[in-house]
């Protein structure tokens, strides 16, 4: 999952100026997290397997957001 976001980040940085790519990525991650939270809330409490799967996806988005923040720090440091 992190590799997937790394690839997206690289593509964004190649095709969009850096000052635009990080906010765009952050917006996309926030939208994804919102959708997953909504989906998680709609699952019945009896659907433990589904809730675990969605929670793992939510955790992956949180990791991707953290990676984005680290990448932003690296870019800012090397400017």
Place of tokens 């923040």: 69
pLDDT of residue 43: 86
pLDDT tens for 34-77 read 988 998 898 888 899 988 988 998 898 888 888 888 888 887 78
pLDDT tens for 8-20 read 666 655 655 555 5
Would you place residue 3 in the very low, low, confident or very high pLDDT band (cuts 50, 70, 90)?
Answer: low
The torsion defined by the Cα of 31, 36, 41 and 44, in degrees rounded to 10, comes to 160
pLDDT of residue 64: 84
Show me where the domains of the chain are located.
2-77
């Amino acid at each position: 999952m992190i590799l997937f976001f790394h690839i997206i980040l690289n593509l964004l940085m190649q095709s969009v100026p850096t000052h635009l790519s990080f906010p765009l990525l952050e917006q996309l991650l926030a939208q994804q997290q919102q959708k997953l939270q909504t989906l998680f809330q709609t699952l019945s409490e009896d659907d433990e397997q589904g809730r675990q799967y969605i929670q793992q996806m939510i955790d992956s988005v949180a990791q991707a957001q953290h990676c984005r923040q680290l990448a932003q720090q690296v870019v800012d440091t090397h400017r």
